[in-house]
Amino acid sequence: MRDCSGSVAPLALDDWNSKFSRARNADFLAMLMAAALPWSTTAFGIISAFWLVSVAAVIDIRKFFQFIRRTPWTLSLAIVGLAILGTLWAVAPWSARIHIAGTTAKLLALPLFAYQFERSPNGAKVLCAFYCSCVVLMGLSWLHRFGIVTAPFSTLVAGVPVKNWITQGVEFVLCAFGSAALSIMTWQRGRTYLSLGCAILAAAFVLNLVFVPSSRTALISFLVLLPILTYRYIGRRRSLLLYATVAAAGVAFWFSSPNIRERFASIPQQIGWYETGAVQASVGLRLEYWSNSLKFIEEAPFLGHGTGSIRELFARAAAGKKVTQNEIVANPHNQTLYFALQWGVTGVILLLAMWISHLLLFTETRWLAWIGTLVVSQNIFDSIFNSHISDYVEGWIYVIGVGVCAGSVAGHFSNAKNRNTLSP
């Protein structure tokens, strides 16, 4: 599957018998998947079906089964297996059981992406396709924010032309850090103008998060990820200078951005509303979901209540009470609680083990390893307030990001090892 030139041409349908052409098709389709993901789940689903066929056409079954024995991929497959088994003891309609089990199926693509890009040099191009797509989305977001472009987008939030502000925030945080990393990398290689362009795009993503409606989780995750992602790459003095600059910018943003002040100043008020039962708001609802979830977990701590049972649990607790539909949910807005409710301690252990094993894939200091660390770290933090692995777009961002980066890093290491072995 590896092409030494690293080029990716459009689909080579005229030469399907060539393994090289089929591998090139698989890489090209992976790029299309990454580019479509921020925009359309329908287009993404169609392209992913073609990608799956193209990967199946080039895969070596024996080598692939050896490959998935590695711990990071075994754990992701084990989560899918547990979700399927959990349908057997769930207290939920079969439609709900099958639906929730299906949301974990995307984890099956993790080892496929890793296997593909361990043998292909085009992993960085997949990430660049996602990045370029988000750059276009960010430009459209600014135009939509100021009412310059509204049709054919019908979202109710100005500046969020597609999807929602939670998804857009996840994408833009990733791209802000990715832009900064590209800027540093190109500057070190003497490509001054490209470096400045990447720095400007990084600033544009950050300003969008600040001045366009975005989730609190995205804004907080930016500050949390900053020290995690700079620790290995910047010296202590430069880090302190960077953090001081970010702190000064944060103060300036607080006074200049109504979006930030509104999002964070309302937190104590919403907690007060929750305690008095006066008004329902997002912060109070999350506290309600979490407190109820802990009670449900105590009832079935080891194997949980089964796949797809969360809505039934909340509906049962609401029986005979005056509640709104916002209080009967199929998602407690916390990934750990989501696993614990359905699959108990067993599911939580598998989830935490998978996250840790994926982090350990990226111990190098190469750019792709840095991006892999970024994707995993963001998913872990954001999953405190959301269930991003179970969500569609955010879950696929994790699968593609981790799979492509892990495969590319492993492929680079394998090639370097082979070169050292063959050299006199």
Checking if the pLDDT of 5 tops 90, the result is no
Cα 45 from chain centroid (whole Å) = 17
The single-letter DSSP state of residue 9 is P
Q: Which residues contact 221 (CB under 8 A, 6 or more apart)?
A: 173, 378, 381, 382
Least confident residue range of 74-78, 124-128, 129-133, 232-236 = 232-236
Domain parsing of the chain, residue ranges: 63-119+285-424
Least confident residue range of 126-135, 161-170, 257-266 = 257-266
Distance between CA atoms of residues 165 and 214, nearest Å: 5
Checking if the pLDDT of 117 tops 50, the result is yes
pLDDT per residue as tens digits for the range 381-391: 999 999 999 99
Please give the pLDDT value at position 4: 40
pLDDT per residue as tens digits for the range 310-358: 999 998 887 766 666 667 888 999 999 999 999 999 999 999 999 999 9
Task: State pTM to two decimals.
Answer: 0.90
DSSP of 272-316: HHHHHTS---HHHHHHHHHHHHHHHHHHSTTT-S-TT-HHHHHHH
Provide the mean pLDDT of the chain.
86
- Under the banding of pLDDT at 50, 70 and 90, the label for residue 2 is very low
Burial class (CB in 10 A: 0-12, 13-18, 19+), 46: middle
Please give the pLDDT value at position 8: 56
% of the chain with per-residue pLDDT over 70? 86
% of the chain with per-residue pLDDT over 90? 55
